[in-house]
Amino acid sequence: MKRNLKSKHKTSIKFTLILASILMIGCGEKKTTPKVEKEPTLKEAFESNFLIGSAVNDNLVSKKDSLGEQIVLTEYNTITPENSMKWMYMEPEQGKFEFETADKYIDFSTKNDIAFIGHNLVWHSQLAGWVEKIESKEELSASLKNHVQTVAARYSGKIHGWDVVNEALNEDGTLRNSLFLKQLGPDYLINSFKWAQEADPKAELYYNDYNMTRQEKRAGAIKLVKDIQASGARIDGIGMQAHWGLKDPTLEEIETSILEYSDLGIQVMITEFDITVLPNPWDLEGAEVSQNFEGSEHMNPYTKELPDSVNTQLAQRYKDIFSLFKKHSDKISRVTFWGINDGVSWLNSWPIEDRTNYPLLFDREYNRKPAYYSVLEVAKDSAL
């Protein structure tokens, strides 16, 4: 009986040793799970090149657009308010400022470490009605100074930069005959930059306009920048509004403009970037918000969806343009898209109401479009 127990015990020990050997061999040959690389976001992909951001509306800061908020937090490191910091909203009555909404934008950007661009301090459009009724040169100058300095001082030290003056040029490069130019003369431009600098000395100061790739307007913008510099006022950059099409402007025109503005010793920024895929009524030029046109089927051809062929064309256009931006990333400090997704783009209502446009990198359901991935391809291409 004892012999049988001993025999069983030896068998048990032998089995245990064999099992342990098998386990040790298995551990030695354990295979590791391949590491899946995470696709970079836009801000990550272009981190070493320039800031990349979006214009946003009040739904973002009022927590009514959670999907839009997620895109902003994931993809962008700078934002610009689309409308809420324009004069008609900031100072609707003379001397009475409305800061509640603007404060929310500042709080959102500060909390999430996002560079905030104030848009804008001085613009002939979207003024409060009372401003246009001022007849006295002295009163208008005092009101302009008070507006610029009150708003800029409110957010001093909390803001990355200001579009100090917006769209002050005609297409031929001459100064727009706005209310400010008529009553105050060209000095209002220089004074606006000086007042902004006094109120917020740490913020960068920009001039922003559309059609800045056109030769005559570019020449006018260059003269304007030189005049501001010669006056002793500070100007840190120029914003090239990029409301562009599938073919216009040409890459050569864009590149020439980047180079010539950079030669002024200032930053170049691509602002208000979107690419319309819809017909341009009567060869409309520019982005003058007062222009509008009646709709037609010809002018609104993609009400259901964007054809694959046009989607491909849009993606290639974005890729070509971003390749140029990357080439000159030493001159470009920021690229800002004008809207989070196609559904909120202003191009659905301008220059013709109720159209269906597809100008951005995210579709109406907040999904990434082929254009999004074509832009990422540019960032990955080490040859560029």
**Inter-residue contact 351 to 69 (CB < 8 Å):** no
Number of Cβ within a 10 Å radius of residue 238: 25
Tokens found for residue 13: 């020990």
Predicted TM-score (pTM) of the model is 0.87
Tokens found for residue 281: 């009524």
Can you tell me which residue has the tokens 């970079």? 40
pLDDT in tens, the chain (384 residues): 333 433 444 444 444 444 444 444 444 444 455 555 688 999 999 999 999 999 999 999 999 999 999 999 999 999 999 999 999 999 999 999 999 999 999 999 999 999 999 999 999 999 999 999 999 999 999 999 999 999 999 999 999 999 999 999 999 999 999 999 999 999 999 999 999 999 999 999 999 999 999 999 999 999 999 999 999 999 999 999 999 999 999 999 999 999 999 999 999 999 999 999 999 886 666 666 566 566 678 889 999 999 999 999 999 999 999 999 999 999 999 999 999 999 999 999 999 999 999 999 999 999 999 999 999 999 998 655
Q: Is omega for the bond preceding 281 within 30 degrees of 0, making it cis?
A: no
Tokens found for residue 90: 């900031």
Tokens found for residue 384: 């560029």
Among residues 53, 23, 10, 21, the alpha carbon closest in space to that of 338 is found at 53
Active site residue 294: no
Residue of 167, 204, 285, 288 marked catalytic: 167
Residue of 171, 272, 297, 365 marked catalytic: 272
Domain ranges (residues) in the chain: 42-279+296-380
Q: 3-state DSSP call for residue 109? A: helix
**Range 42-279+296-380 has CATH code 3.40.50.1820:** no
Tokens found for residue 321: 């343009």
Q: 3-state DSSP call for residue 293? A: strand
Active site residue 171: no
